[in-house]
Amino acid sequence: MDTKLKADIAEAAVITALLKRGFKVLKPIGDRLPYDLALDVNGKLLKIQVKSAWYYNGNYTVDSRRTKTNRRRMLRSRYDDKDFDFAILYIDRLNTFYVMPISVFSAYKSGISLVESEKRQRKPQSAMYKERWDLLSKGAV
């Protein structure tokens, strides 16, 4: 499965999860914007970036950088705090979501580990954003 298909699956899963929770979802046309979706929350628009996690070295991982691919190479750059309001990270195999404010998401330099193992002694910082859909409503205030 290529990365574009994985991204499409993640976006569809996030849209479905948002709609089930009563959010009003808007989808931009094309992929030129630094965000994938927008939400109308009490008249305020929240920009959402969707990221799909992959399994690597015993953990699920998401890249916190934007990736553009041209014919010869992959170009990566960091997101700006004004690019979007929240990132929603999706683990397909577990149907699990992490809702993370841009200020937290952009603080990671490259990879974000989403540890789903209960055997760890200490949970990573990302654990506090697991299934935190309430942050979206609070972010619109």
Each domain of the chain, given as residue ranges in start order, spans 3-139
What was the pLDDT predicted at 86? 96
What was the pLDDT predicted at 119? 64
Enter the pTM of the model: 0.89
Q: What is the mean pLDDT of each run of 10 residues along the chain (141 residues)?
A: 86 97 94 91 94 87 78 76 94 95 89 75 81 89 65
- The answer to whether 65 and 79 have CB atoms below 8 angstroms apart is yes
Q: Which fold has domain 3-139?
A: Trna Endonuclease; Chain: A, domain 1 (3.40.1350)
What was the pLDDT predicted at 88? 97
* Distances 85 to 38, 49, 119, 139 between C-alpha atoms, Å: 9, 8, 32, 8
- The answer to whether 96 and 104 have CB atoms below 8 angstroms apart is no
